Amino acid sequence: MLDKNALSQLKNLKQEIHDSTPRYEGRVRATTGRFGFVNTEDKQQFFLSPDEMEKVLPGDQIAFRVESAGEGKQQAIIEKVIKSELDKLYGRYVIRGKGHFIEPDSDTLNRWIFIPPNKRMKAEEGDLISAHISQHPYPNGRAQAHIDEVIGKPGEDHIEHRFIMAKSGLSAEFSAAEQQQVAELAEQGLQAELDKRTDLTHLPFVTIDSAGTRDIDDALYAEAHSQGWSLWIGIADPAALIATGSELDQAAQQRATSSYFPDQVLPMLPPELSEQLCSLQENELRLAMVVELKVAEDGTIESTNIHNAKIRSQAKLSYTQVAQLIKGEDNEIPAELHGHIVHLHNCSQALNQFRTEHCLVMEERPDYKIITDEQGKAKEIVKLERNQAHRLVEECMLACNRSIADWLADKESGFFINHSGVRTERIGEVVALIREQLELERKPKIQTLAEFVEWVQKAEQCDSEFPLRTIISRQLERSNLSLEAGTHFGLGFNHYTTFTSPLRKYNDLLLHRVIKALLEEKTPELPQQTTLDQIQQRQTNSRIAASQTESWLKLDWLQQQDKEATYDAIIVHMNSANFTVRLEESGIEGTIDRRKAKGDWTFETKTLTHRSGDICFKLNQPVQVKIQDIKPQNRSVRFVLVD
């Protein structure tokens, strides 16, 4: 037995070891594998082994110590879960023997969670369910969940839509209080507000949109002069009716955007407003904020004026009708509007030429529309090519938005969409790529907007074997809403914001309020940065939800096609492990696993290429593929290359 002195020495030694062991706090980050990482506030990152990951959930705030994992590596050992934010789960009900589980529909939680017998709500194998975490795995050994709702079964009518909506927290319903406010606004009408407005009803505005669009938020008119054009952009004005902090305003902020699913639109504002009272309907007096731009022959925007106005759209035109007129084909547009549309087209071409020479024009890609049946399933996928009418409207909207951003920057107010260019960790490779492909003696500088635009334009014109513009675009940061008037590298603009979709985007509606205050020479009430961050996150959530629903429906359709069919595709992304390809006729994207490819393949991060000898795979390269395996519910399809 150890005497008291030895026991004291041993205790002191243990304390010294404890005190000398590094300890931290951080947030758990999951991976697609069983292992994970924990990130600290000072941007350190430590490895979490599969055994340690079993003790926590993605996003957990933990206290941990750092120990050696051999071969000079370190790993985190969990000592305490400080906070766990993961609560709700959505996924598939799985039965294995006597065990009942939820298989989460999640990019970060890739293990099944046990559901105890008395919390299963009579769910059956394969059911799509919602649940909540009832027992955290630390220190209990394993996580448990209780079912909250059985959403439905795979194959049921509209199940894809219903499940993704539930998972994303989206709803098509408006509360009784919100509906009551809509009724009051409808009864009140527009006349009192119309009487206060600048009368621009003499201008023959037209709207150009898809044939079925009802929430029409922009109208256009262009007048030609000897040295350019006057371009008028009328934007719907729901901010004139919706009071700050009202029930409708809070609902719009919570939604942050209209969500466009294949078989349903979830409007940000009730249809009675977004499709009727505020929509710029044909031959109806409507409230609008009108931006008047003086555009020179070379596409330079020389001045910007903003009017609180009333307008009357002369016609609701479709993209197809306007494109036919531009091409000189037969169309159904009244003859008295032909000249105005030609002026619009000519003005938009000048604006495009200016952007081509001084800014950056985004790569064009087709859109794809899912045609659904009565059960909400995809029966056809239609490829929609952009035409001259789409480009006309796009140029006018871009001109309006960047002009508004410049106007706000001059007044040192408002908020903006900033884009900081190439990701910091990728700048070296982008610089090296440009230098190598353009055969430059020195490294080009791409830190300022002017430098970046200059070198991207030169790279785009370079006769290279690689799609340089596409490669650079894959290395860019994401844009963000900000109270600071920064640059937008992705578009090549000094400033940018969005103002043109207040029926569909809450930040645009907020910006209308800011501009109204500035026009009245009042100090506007600007949102907090945290509010802008929340809006952006909710808009991202909406886009992801719509994209996941589309992917599910598309893959369900693809699964019903010929299993041995060969498809034309294009490589749209790649990393060291796989390619992402897009099918040309349907827009369906899937992966090709390259980890077991025969031959000595290397992946070059600078050019984003896979190479083996003289064989090279690169971005934008056409390939032919066949389906390897497909899981519609998981929105996952793997292809193989056809030799």
**Cβ-count burial 111-150 (b if 16+ within 10 Å, e if not):** bbbbbeeebbeebeeebbbbbebeebbbeeeebbbbbbeb
> Across all residues in the chain, what is the average pLDDT?
93
Q: How far apart (Å, rounded) are the C-alpha atoms in residues 203 and 255?
A: 34
Q: How far apart (Å, rounded) are the C-alpha atoms in residues 312 and 289?
A: 13
Q: How far apart (Å, rounded) are the C-alpha atoms in residues 214 and 449?
A: 38
- DSSP, res 620: T
Mind listing the pLDDT tens digit for each residue in 593-637?
Answer: 998 888 889 999 999 999 998 889 999 999 999 999 999 999 999
Phi, psi of 335 (to 5 degrees): -60, -35
Predicted TM-score (pTM) of the model is: 0.92
Predicted confidence (pLDDT) at residue 54 exceeds the cutoff of 80 = yes
| pLDDT at residue 16, as a whole number | 52
Amino acid at 514: V
Q: What percent of the chain has pLDDT over 90?
A: 88
Residues 522 and 464 placed together within one structural domain of the fold: no
Residues 278 and 221 placed together within one structural domain of the fold: yes
Residues 212 and 76 placed together within one structural domain of the fold: no
CATH code (residue 52): 2.40.50.140
| pLDDT at residue 600, as a whole number | 87
- Count the helix, strand and coil residues of the chain and give each as a percent rounded to the nearest 5: 35, 30, 35
The number of beta carbons lying within 10 Å of the beta carbon of residue 565 is 10
The continuous run of DSSP H or E covering 507 comes out as helix 506-519
Q: How far apart (Å, rounded) are the C-alpha atoms in residues 308 and 151?
A: 47
**Between 583 and 32, whose confidence is greater?**
583
In 3-state terms, what secondary structure has residue 439?
Answer: coil
How many domains in the chain?
5
Residue 34 within a domain: yes
E-state strands within 385-429:
416-418
The number of beta carbons lying within 10 Å of the beta carbon of residue 548 is 17
Average pLDDT over every residue of 66-80: 87
Average pLDDT over every residue of 496-505: 97
| pLDDT at residue 362, as a whole number | 87
Q: Which residues span the domain enclosing 596?
A: 561-641
Predicted confidence (pLDDT) at residue 210 exceeds the cutoff of 60 = yes
Mind listing the pLDDT tens digit for each residue in 507-547?
Answer: 999 999 999 999 999 999 999 999 999 999 999 999 999 99
The number of beta carbons lying within 10 Å of the beta carbon of residue 458 is 15
Position 141 confidence tier, pLDDT thresholds 50, 70, 90: confident
Predicted confidence (pLDDT) at residue 492 exceeds the cutoff of 70 = yes
Nearest to 558 by CA among 640, 643, 637, 622: 637
Predicted confidence (pLDDT) at residue 17 exceeds the cutoff of 50 = no
Q: What is the 3-state secondary structure (H, E, C) of 326-387?
A: HCCCCCCCCHHHHHHHHHHHHHHHHHHHHHHHHCCCCCCCCEEEEEECCCCCEEEEEEECCC
Predicted confidence (pLDDT) at residue 501 exceeds the cutoff of 90 = yes
The residues with which 367 forms a beta bridge, in sequence order, are 384
| Token pair 């030694």: residue | 13
| pLDDT at residue 415, as a whole number | 97
Q: How far apart (Å, rounded) are the C-alpha atoms in residues 388 and 203?
A: 23
Residues 271 and 215 placed together within one structural domain of the fold: yes
| pLDDT at residue 32, as a whole number | 83
Residue 71 within a domain: yes
The number of beta carbons lying within 10 Å of the beta carbon of residue 471 is 23
Angle at 211 (CA atoms; ends 254, 556), nearest 5 degrees: 70
Phi, psi of 102 (to 5 degrees): -110, 130
Structure tokens at 498: 């969005």
| pLDDT at residue 12, as a whole number | 54
Average pLDDT over every residue of 113-131: 95
Cβ(509)–Cβ(499) under 8 Å? no
Cβ(289)–Cβ(232) under 8 Å? no
Predicted confidence (pLDDT) at residue 15 exceeds the cutoff of 60 = no
Half-sphere exposure of 535 (CA within 13 A, CB side): 27
| pLDDT at residue 8, as a whole number | 55
Residue 482 within a domain: no
Residues 387 and 512 placed together within one structural domain of the fold: yes
Residues 223 and 301 placed together within one structural domain of the fold: yes
In 3-state terms, what secondary structure has residue 452?
Answer: helix
Cβ(136)–Cβ(143) under 8 Å? yes
Residues 526 and 580 placed together within one structural domain of the fold: no
Cα(first)–Cα(last) distance of the chain, in Å?
75
Average pLDDT over every residue of 180-186: 95
Q: How far apart (Å, rounded) are the C-alpha atoms in residues 501 and 503?
A: 5
| pLDDT at residue 293, as a whole number | 98
Residue 252 within a domain: yes
Residues 318 and 193 placed together within one structural domain of the fold: yes
| Token pair 């389906």: residue | 627
In 3-state terms, what secondary structure has residue 9?
Answer: helix
Q: How far apart (Å, rounded) are the C-alpha atoms in residues 298 and 349?
A: 9
Residues 317 and 345 placed together within one structural domain of the fold: yes
The residues with which 573 forms a beta bridge, in sequence order, are 580
Orientation of helix 176-188 relative to helix 247-255, angle to 10°: 120
Predicted confidence (pLDDT) at residue 181 exceeds the cutoff of 90 = yes
Residue 397 within a domain: yes
Residue 110 within a domain: yes
Predicted confidence (pLDDT) at residue 572 exceeds the cutoff of 80 = yes
Cβ(413)–Cβ(524) under 8 Å? yes
Report the number of secondary-structure helices (H) and strands (E) in the chain: 16, 31
Residues 525 and 409 placed together within one structural domain of the fold: yes
Residue 3 within a domain: no
Residue 13 within a domain: no
Residues 405 and 426 placed together within one structural domain of the fold: no
561: Cα separation from own chain's centroid: 29
Where does a domain end: 83, 102, 122? 83
Residues 388 and 455 placed together within one structural domain of the fold: no
| pLDDT at residue 140, as a whole number | 77
Mind listing the pLDDT tens digit for each residue in 413-472?
Answer: 999 999 999 999 999 999 999 999 999 999 999 999 999 999 999 999 999 999 999 999
| Residues contacting 589, CB < 8 A, separation 6+ | 551, 572, 580, 581, 582, 583
Where does a domain end: 56, 83, 110? 83
Where does a domain end: 29, 52, 83? 83
| Token pair 């050994």: residue | 141
